[in-house]
Amino acid sequence: MSNKSIKAAKLAGALTLPAGLSWAQEASAPAPVPAPLDPPAKAHVKAKAAGQAKAQPKPKPQPRHVRPTDYSKLIELNSATKAQLMTLPGVDAAAADRIIAGRPYLVKTNIETRHVLPAGSYGALRDLIYVVPPQAK
């Protein structure tokens, strides 16, 4: 409403004030304070209030190396032939010869600790090989 229409409405008696307040006091009355706004709610609270389903948790990451349980698919370092060793990734004829020359192995990490293969090559092989230590005499 414009000021002119408010004045006209006052004169006509169309506007009324609450009890205990006159038109003269209206000008000096403090402006009403707006109600404080609610803080923003968190997304899960909003979803719960709206009746939406609870967010599903992230799936657990899979392990980097899945160890097979079937030893028939693995290669035993102390008894494997040169042809069997060459089927392993990153093992060529020279690496297979070094593996055979370094026998017997007590644990499969011996091919890395004895510097038969570089550390990067062992990382690719460790889930494909196993060792049966030689019997004590």
| pLDDT given for residue 111 in this prediction | 92
| pLDDT given for residue 1 in this prediction | 56
- Amino acid letter, 31: A
Average pLDDT value for residue range 74-84: 93
Contact 65, 126 (CB under 8 A): yes
**How many angstroms separate the Cα of 22 from the Cα of each of 8, 10, 14, 57?**
16, 11, 14, 62
Average pLDDT value for residue range 9-23: 63
In this prediction, residue 97 has a pLDDT band, given cuts at 50, 70 and 90, of very high
Distance of CA 76 to the CA centre of its chain: 37
- Nearest by Cα to 116 from 89, 133, 81, 91: 91
3-state secondary structure 5-43: HHHHHHHHCCCCCCCCCCHHHHHHCCCCCCCCCCCCCCH
In this prediction, residue 110 has a pLDDT band, given cuts at 50, 70 and 90, of very high
Which H or E element spans position 101?
Answer: helix 93-101
57, two tokens: 């948790």
In this prediction, residue 120 has a pLDDT band, given cuts at 50, 70 and 90, of confident
pTM of the predicted model, to two decimals? Answer: 0.48
What is the distance between the alpha carbons of residues 16 and 9, in angstroms, rounded to a whole number? Answer: 9
pLDDT reading at 79 higher than 60: yes
Over the stretch 37-64, which tens digit does the pLDDT of each residue have? 666 555 555 555 555 556 677 777 766 6
In this prediction, residue 3 has a pLDDT band, given cuts at 50, 70 and 90, of low
Query: What domains are defined for the chain?
Result: 71-130 (1.10.150.320)
